[in-house]
Amino acid sequence: MENSQDAVAGAGTDERVAEDRYGRLRRFWKSDFVRSAPYWGIPLLLMGAAVYGGIIWNVLISLTDYEGFLQRPDYGSLDLDMYSRALSDSAVHLTARNTFVLLVAFTSISLVLGLFLSILLDRDIRQKSKVQTIYLLPMALSFVVTAQFWLWMYNSDNGLVNTVIGLFGLGPYNWIGNPQLVLGSIIFALIWQFSGYTMVVFLAGLQSISDDQFEAARVDGASIFKTYWRVIIPQLKSASVSAAVVLMIFALKIFTFLYAMFGTYRPPKGTDVLATLMVREAFMLSNWAYAASIATILLGMSLLVIAPYLYYQYREGAL
């Protein structure tokens, strides 16, 4: 008798579990997520095929010996030969070093300059709106326009840069022809374009801080410098991280700027970066698999930039 009662109770429990599962499944199919699937599903599939499909295909090509459109990639024998070649290639070492210098110098100086400008604007300097517009306007320009503008500015014969420093008895210098000056010249042009962006990011962070903190620091006898250094700037950590990530991504996409300025896949010595080396190997030398391996290395560098930012956002509860 007890066994039959236990069997009935067990059957009733199984039925309730099945009904609960059926109810959850039915609620899921009637949810807004599923009902809106025709609107977001198709764009998601197209984006996934175009972006992530392209990334996967590029990685597969980098594991072959593919050399151009006249042959088909042999996916039957995948290996890491191209990555071994890249790690031992002096050209990759040189371009990786240039890329790292560009990344660090451009990002660091842009952040410091943007912070300085945002503090000046936050202090209500005269002609605040005009200064903000002047520094923000270059951000609206494309890489092509900026490159052509600074190509004229750096002209060794009649460029504005040499004209200005000539007033102090300096120059003229061949800013884009001298290997020792060209990388710094490129970094300066990029800083000119993007320091306005960091200024706006920091200014938004400063304006979100309560005026009571400034008043409390003033009452405690803290100077303006100590107030910003010890009280205000530490609260701009989130703005600093987000701005740094955007700047580093732009630094890794420098190929457009270099090609627009020099008009060749082989920029002057000192400005050759991984992006230009990748394009040169693919479209000039038809080393498609090798170029794909360099592209994968660039992707890894991008992930090294983005992953810590996403983890930071997750820790802060923003994701």
The pLDDT tens digits of the residues spanning 161-188 come to 988 888 888 878 888 888 888 999 999 9
Of 56-60, 138-142, 205-209, 222-226, which has the strongest mean pLDDT?
56-60
The label of the residue with tokens 């190997």 reads: 281
Question: In the prediction, which pLDDT does 2 show?
Answer: 45
- Looking at the structure, do residues 124 and 246 belong to the same domain, yes or no? yes
- Looking at the structure, do residues 48 and 121 belong to the same domain, yes or no? no
Domain-located, residue 76: no
> What's the whole-model pTM score?
0.78
Number of domains in the chain: 2
pLDDT digits (tens, 9 = 90+) for 284-299: 888 899 999 999 998 8
pLDDT digits (tens, 9 = 90+) for 206-225: 888 877 787 787 777 777 78
Domain-located, residue 69: no
pLDDT digits (tens, 9 = 90+) for 115-135: 988 888 877 665 566 677 777
- Reply yes or no on whether the pLDDT at 9 is more than 50: no
Question: In the prediction, which pLDDT does 12 show?
Answer: 52
The percentage of residues in the chain with a pLDDT greater than 70, rounded to a whole number, is 89
CA 199/CA 239 separation, integer angstroms: 10
- Looking at the structure, do residues 56 and 100 belong to the same domain, yes or no? no
Comparing C-alpha atoms, which of 203, 205, 233 is closest to residue 217?
A: 233
The pLDDT-based confidence of 27 (bands split at 50, 70, 90) is confident
> What is the average pLDDT value for the chain, to the nearest integer?
83
Residues 6+ apart with CB under 8 A from 119: 202, 206, 228
Residue with more model confidence, 258 or 313: 258
Say if residue 274 is exposed, middle or buried (CB neighbours under 10 Å; 0-12, 13-18, 19+). Answer: buried
Question: In the prediction, which pLDDT does 128 show?
Answer: 66
The pLDDT-based confidence of 8 (bands split at 50, 70, 90) is very low
**Whole domain around residue 36: which residue ranges?**
5-63
- Looking at the structure, do residues 36 and 110 belong to the same domain, yes or no? no
- Reply yes or no on whether the pLDDT at 319 is more than 60: no
Question: In the prediction, which pLDDT does 219 show?
Answer: 79
- Looking at the structure, do residues 14 and 141 belong to the same domain, yes or no? no
Say if residue 179 is exposed, middle or buried (CB neighbours under 10 Å; 0-12, 13-18, 19+). Answer: exposed
- Looking at the structure, do residues 177 and 308 belong to the same domain, yes or no? yes
- Looking at the structure, do residues 42 and 136 belong to the same domain, yes or no? no
pLDDT digits (tens, 9 = 90+) for 229-251: 888 888 888 888 888 888 988 88
Residue with more model confidence, 34 or 109: 109
- Looking at the structure, do residues 55 and 124 belong to the same domain, yes or no? no
